[in-house]
């Protein structure tokens, strides 16, 4: 399982156990989401997460495509907390299955770090961001709109929570 094979490398050797109460995951995302179907999708799944994720929205930058990526990238990196385990949502990343994604969250929590998911804007993520990320994850090979990616990530976070709690929301395929 691809996701599991590299999940163990994301956190580094820190404390063996995290806090009893998991810290909220952080979502650092370019763009201000207005009310609409994408916001409703995100809210639907985020409301099921315990604790709920904390979202930091980075304003869309102006300029050439490269300038936009660089400015938005600098703002994304500046918003990372010191204990961040940075995970970039990136088309060039690997595509773990949901169990592998859940294992990644567990590893980050057990290392006592904060899982921080980085989502780019229309021009994508700057190379400085993908270089900083300890893990790059693709939601398949197709390009999705960034606000939709936020909702899709929230659903996978909820699925990961269900997997970790053995909740029947996630029905693993069995032969
Ligand atoms: C509209 S996409 C940017 C497309 C840009 N041309 C690129 O190649 O990254 C906006 C953001 O959504 C996220 N995204 C879009 N599709 C994705 C996918 N299949 N897997 C992971 N993240 C994706 C990435 O964070 C991306 O920076």
Ligand 1 centroid, distance to 143 Cα (angstroms): 5
- How does strand 135-137 pair with strand 114-119? unpaired
Check pLDDT > 80 for residue 14: no
Half-sphere exposure of 170 (CA within 13 A, CB side): 19
pTM (2 d.p.): 0.89
Q: What is the pLDDT of residues 46-77, one digit of tens each?
A: 999 999 999 999 999 999 999 999 999 999 99
Check pLDDT > 70 for residue 110: yes
- Known binding residue 139? Answer is yes
Residue 140's pLDDT band (cuts 50, 70, 90): very high
Interatomic CA distance for residues 58 and 119, integer angstroms: 10
Interatomic CA distance for residues 144 and 150, integer angstroms: 10
Write a three-state SS string for 99-144: HHHHHHHHHHHHCCCEEEEEECECCECCHHHHHHCCEEECCCCCCC
Question: Cβ < 6 Å from ligand 1: which residues?
Answer: 89-91, 119-120, 122, 124-125, 138-140, 142-146, 149
Residue 4's pLDDT band (cuts 50, 70, 90): very low
- Count of beta carbons in the 10 Å neighbourhood of residue 47: 11
CA nearest ligand 1 atom 9, residue: 124
Check pLDDT > 50 for residue 38: yes
What domains sit in the chain, N to C, each tagged with a CATH number? Answer: 2-13+26-164 (3.40.1280.10)
Interatomic CA distance for residues 30 and 125, integer angstroms: 9
- Closest CA relative to residue 150, chosen from 125, 129, 119, 124: 119
Lowest mean pLDDT among 9-13, 84-88, 150-154: 9-13
ipTM of the modeled complex: 0.97
- Closest CA relative to residue 76, chosen from 55, 102, 46, 93: 55
Check pLDDT > 70 for residue 1: no
């Amino acid at each position: 399982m691809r996701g599991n094979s590299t999940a163990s490398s994301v956190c580094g050797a820190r404390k063996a156990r995290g806090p009893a109460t998991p810290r909220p995951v952080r979502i650092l995302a370019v763009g201000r989401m207005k009310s609409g179907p994408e916001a409703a999708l995100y809210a639907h799944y985020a409301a099921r997460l315990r604790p709920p994720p904390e979202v930091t929205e980075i304003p869309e930058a102006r300029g050439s495509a490269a300038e936009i990526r660089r400015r938005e990238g600098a703002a994304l990196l500046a918003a990372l907390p010191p204990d961040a385990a940075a995970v970039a949502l990136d088309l060039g990343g690997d595509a773990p299955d949901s169990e592998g994604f859940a294992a990644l969250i567990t590893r980050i929590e057990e290392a006592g770090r904060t899982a921080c998911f980085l989502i780019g804007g229309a021009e994508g993520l700057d190379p400085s961001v993908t270089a900083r990320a300890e893990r790059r994850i693709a939601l398949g090979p197709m390009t999705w709109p960034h606000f939709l990616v936020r909702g899709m990530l929230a659903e996978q976070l909820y699925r990961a929570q269900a997997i970790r709690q053995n909740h029947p929301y996630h029905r693993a395929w069995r032969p």
